[in-house]
Amino acid sequence: MNIKINENFDLLSENYLFSEINKRINNFKESNKNVDIIKLGIGDVTLPLGKKVIDALLNASKEMGNKDTFRGYPPEYGYDFMKDAVKKYYKRINVSLDLDSIFISDGAKSDLGNIVDIFGDNPIYIPNPVYPVYLDSNLMSGRNINYIIGNEENNFLPLPTKDIKDNSIIYLCSPNNPTGGAYNYDELKKWVDFANNNGSLIIYDSAYEAFILNDKLPHSIYEIEGASNCAIEICSFSKQAGFTGLRCGWTIIPLNLESQNHKINSLWKRRQATKFNGVSYPVQRAAEAALSDEGILECINNINYYMENAKMLSKLFDEKNIFYTGGKNSPYIWFKCPNNMKSWDFFDYLLENANVVGTPGAGFGTFGEGYFRITSFNTHEKTMEAIERLRRIL
């Protein structure tokens, strides 16, 4: 075969983070057969779905097996009942959305990855360190990428700088994966004002908004005045409602977002109608249930469970006086490796001396080198045991 391939794929670095982690664990296990390894690297939820969600899923599945209630293709942009549920969810934070600005998706990753389809060749600004999908999807499209640097000085929550070019696309993630940091109103306002003044578009990933426990922090960028003129928001049921295996999310593209005489909302509509056939009816009914009053309470119960773990972990780093971010409004804790160790060296040290696994910060970008991510998705018992082990070696 001699077809031309997309050479931009050569620009992607090997997706080796989790395979390398597993390789090192397996090597370690070979010579340490009976050792109990505790995994604090988990980036996936572990608690089961709530009763409301399961009931809705079962009922909708039954409807699909009945001649009178069977449904075929769903609308590409989501059923109205589902969009209504999202609209109502935003009302709790006093954000009013047009129904047509809401797109139901099969999760945030797809939309974060696919949104590049509707834009031309603009300068792209991506935080470093951050969730790798923004970088890789832009590399695949041959875009010109710049980094917004997160470091200890800015608590891994970078703010706008003068060197950011006009008319750029800027990715923000709050609460952030991997650093767990969350922007406050003033900080987010700086980004919104900046974008409105220099003609830029913000793509705001709020996949972890439900973990925000501090009522002084914004859950959505649309809580900031002017954001509907410069921002797209992408969110997910994955971590909020335990949908990592069910798959559902949403994207908000305000109707007034416009560039070069094109409505961004219409471009996305066209894109989705061409390449996406919507989210299944049972899953949308389940997601609707997750946003009902009772459903939200069930989700909060699970989130509180994880956040108990995050609190216990944070305490350890307070006690040891180690620099860390996250753990307060996020399931992630991001800390500086002791003795200026590099991320992967610390990974090995932790595995060998505490039999605990986390994620090396270098896997989230060059500025993650020297840092480490642990998560709160394990059980209380395992997390407490891990803390005891960490206390001994840190």
Tell me phi and psi for residue 327, to 5 degrees. 80, -10
Q: Which of 41, 33, 44, 40 is nearest to 382 (CA)?
A: 40
Count residues near ligand PLP (CB under 6 A).
Answer: 13
Q: Which residues contact 357 (CB under 8 A, 6 or more apart)?
A: 21, 25, 37, 38, 39, 40, 41, 347, 350, 351
Binding piece for ligand PLP, criterion CB under 6 A, among 48-56, 89-97, 106-114, 284-292: 106-114
Residue 206 to residues 128, 162, 171, 262, 389: CA-CA distances in angstroms? 17, 25, 11, 25, 33
- Nearer residue to ligand PLP within complex by CB, 168 or 330: 330
Least gap, CB of 77 to ligand PLP (angstroms): 17
- List 187, 205, 288, 298, residue binding ligand PLP (CB under 6 A): 205
Binding of residue 329 to ligand PLP (CB under 6 A): no
Binding of residue 207 to ligand PLP (CB under 6 A): yes
Least gap, CB of 147 to ligand PLP (angstroms): 17
3-state helix/strand/coil string of 135-171 = HHHHHHCCCEEEEEECCCCCCCCCCCCCCCCCCCEEE
Binding piece for ligand PLP, criterion CB under 6 A, among 107-115, 158-166, 187-195, 215-223: 107-115
Binding of residue 104 to ligand PLP (CB under 6 A): no
Least gap, CB of 207 to ligand PLP (angstroms): 4
The DSSP secondary structure of 179-212, one letter per residue, reads T-----HHHHHHHHHHHHHHT-EEEEE-TTGGG-
Per-residue binder mask for ligand PLP (CB under 6 A), 158-187, x = binder: ---------------x---x----------
Measured in whole angstroms, the distance separating CA 252 from the mean position of its chain's CA atoms is 15
Binding of residue 109 to ligand PLP (CB under 6 A): yes
- DSSP for residue 344: H
Task: Name the residue type at position 14.
Answer: E
**324, 317 Cβ separation under 8 angstroms:** yes
- Nearer residue to ligand PLP within complex by CB, 87 or 109: 109
Buried b (16+ CB within 10 A) or exposed e, 306-342: bbebbebbbebbeeeeeebbbbbbbbbbbbbbeeebe
- Nearer residue to ligand PLP within complex by CB, 134 or 194: 134
- List 108, 124, 169, 374, residue binding ligand PLP (CB under 6 A): 108
- List 11, 37, 43, 276, residue binding ligand PLP (CB under 6 A): 43
Measured in whole angstroms, the distance separating CA 108 from the mean position of its chain's CA atoms is 7
Binding piece for ligand PLP, criterion CB under 6 A, among 48-56, 103-111, 296-304, 314-322: 103-111
Give the whole-angstrom CA distance, residue 145 versus residue 121.
10
Binding of residue 219 to ligand PLP (CB under 6 A): no
Residues 223-252 that bind ligand PLP (CB under 6 A): 236, 238, 244, 249
- Nearer residue to ligand PLP within complex by CB, 109 or 285: 109
Site residues, ligand PLP (CB under 6 A):
43, 107-109, 131, 173, 177, 205, 207, 236, 238, 244, 249
